Structure 1
Amino acid sequence: MTESATRQLPRGRHGLPRETVVAAQRDRILAAMAEAMAENGYVGTPVAAVIKRAGVSRETFYEQFRSKEDCFEAAYERAAELMLTGILAATGAEFDGETRAERMERLLGAYLEALAAQPAYARVFLVEVYAVGPEAIARRTHLQETFVAMVADVLGAESESQRFACQTLVAALSSMVTARIAVGDPDGLRELRGPLLDLVRRSGNLFGDIVVED
């Protein structure tokens, strides 16, 4: 969790611009929503619990969000942002000189580390989304397809069958990481990297143009 999401503003007159105050309150509310759901699930998390954890008033909450579902949607967007930021930070460097298997290792490691580093938001992204409704699930599906496209690009998938194999790989990965997030096992997330990379390396051209050097 970021420092801005947990830091309380000073009491009394602080001279901070209104937009700074609003942004800090929003960060705290989103972090509180994620943490409360990690403990009690979406259904078991009332607005009152979020307000108490965030240290804001009910009026402040409803100035920012129309409802609990609206707050969840914003928390989901924050979870997706954190995950994608973590991936892009780790994979943003040029791939010159790396094999496709090495590129995949970097991409997969960044994905798993981003989830393990933000367990509350990871639960929002992977678990609680199913309790909210079809619109939220559709958004999750869209983001998963974005990750499929990244995997297909890294692995050099060109044919329809290779792209389908990449979809299958990401779907299996999603199922495995969701199970570990659901039981609070971030170390188990990181441990998936080795076996999955071994699977990719032994796949030949199933997923794409993989070249494995002896």
Structure 2
Amino acid sequence: MDSPAGERKKLPPGRHGLSREQVSASQRARLVAAMAELAAEKGYPAVAVADVLKRAGVSRLTFYQHFSDKAACFDAAYDTATGALLERVTGALREDTGRWESIERAAGAYLDALAAEPVLARLFLVEAYAAGPEFLRRRIALQSSVVDAIAEFVGARTPRQRLACEAMLGAVVSMATSRVVQDDFAALTALREPLGALVHGLARSFDDI
């Protein structure tokens, strides 16, 4: 998501041998990437549809064939960012190790993904809050579903144990967000050790909660 969308995916002029569906998919992908890049660069409120058209290299008619408005395009970009992050995290959880080691590895995978993809990180952790209350509700719902998944994975049986899982996830997200806001992406990977200690501390106390 960090490469300029227009330069990376724009189709060559003339006959290219692609089907109408392939052309449409390419146009949509370029629009989504352009929105993600621009929102990360200048902030979502400052992005105009005209900016997206220029970056993606498509016409205004093409834009409205795919999206009803700027918010709908941002919605698609946000979903792309969310899907990419969840794929990294769930992939780490699927590895066959102990439950708490898997949680620690998943937190590390989350931080690594954010550090490697600044556009994705800013879109997911910062610009979603600028997109209005509907996106805030979506963020809250997503975070709640992740807490539920963590609680089930580690065998949380009581409300206090689930609250501990929520607090752990909140700490991870809060610390990552502060680094992203400061554009200190290198500091994200440095969080691995203290967050690992947090996970181990929770593991030691979990049965007493």
Partner Cα distance (1:200, 1:122) in 2? 22
What does 1:32-181 align with in structure 2 at a 5 Å threshold?
A: 32-93=34-95, 95=96, 98-181=97-180
Partner of 1:26 in structure 2? 28
- Alpha-carbon distance change, 150 to 63 in structure 1, aligned in 2, over 3 angstroms: same
How far 1:144 sits from its partner (Å)?
1.0
How does the TM-score come out when normalised to structure 1? 0.87
Asked if structure 2 preserves the Cα contact closer than 8 Å seen for 1:42 and 1:131, the reply is yes
Query: Does the residue aligned with 1:56 lie in a helix, a strand or coil?
Result: coil
How far 1:101 sits from its partner (Å)?
2.9
Partner Cα distance (2:100, 2:91) in 1? 19
Deviations 1:137-193 (A, max 9, x none): 111111111221233234332221011011111112211111112222222111111
Partner Cα distance (1:123, 1:137) in 2? 15
Partner Cα distance (1:116, 1:72) in 2? 21
How far 1:121 sits from its partner (Å)?
2.0
- Alpha-carbon distance change, 101 to 90 in structure 1, aligned in 2, over 3 angstroms: closer
Asked if structure 2 preserves the Cα contact closer than 8 Å seen for 1:116 and 1:122, the reply is yes
Unaligned runs of 5+ in 2: none
Comparing both structures, which one devotes a greater share of its residues to helix? 2
Q: Structure 1 vs Structure 2: percent identity of aligned residues?
A: 48
How does the TM-score come out when normalised to structure 2? 0.89
Asked if structure 2 preserves the Cα contact closer than 8 Å seen for 1:51 and 1:57, the reply is yes
How far 1:204 sits from its partner (Å)?
5.0
Partner Cα distance (1:57, 1:185) in 2? 36
Asked if structure 1 preserves the Cα contact closer than 8 Å seen for 2:40 and 2:119, the reply is yes
- Alpha-carbon distance change, 38 to 146 in structure 1, aligned in 2, over 3 angstroms: same
Residues matched between the structures, number: 205
Partner Cα distance (2:53, 2:183) in 1? 24
How far 1:83 sits from its partner (Å)?
0.8
RMSD: 2.0
Partner Cα distance (1:15, 1:55) in 2? 19
Query: Does the residue aligned with 2:170 lie in a helix, a strand or coil?
Result: helix
Partner Cα distance (2:2, 2:38) in 1? 16
Asked if structure 2 preserves the Cα contact closer than 8 Å seen for 1:42 and 1:128, the reply is yes
- Alpha-carbon distance change, 150 to 193 in structure 1, aligned in 2, over 3 angstroms: farther
Partner Cα distance (1:209, 1:188) in 2? 32
Partner of 1:13 in structure 2? 15
Partner Cα distance (2:204, 2:77) in 1? 38
Partner Cα distance (1:99, 1:89) in 2? 15
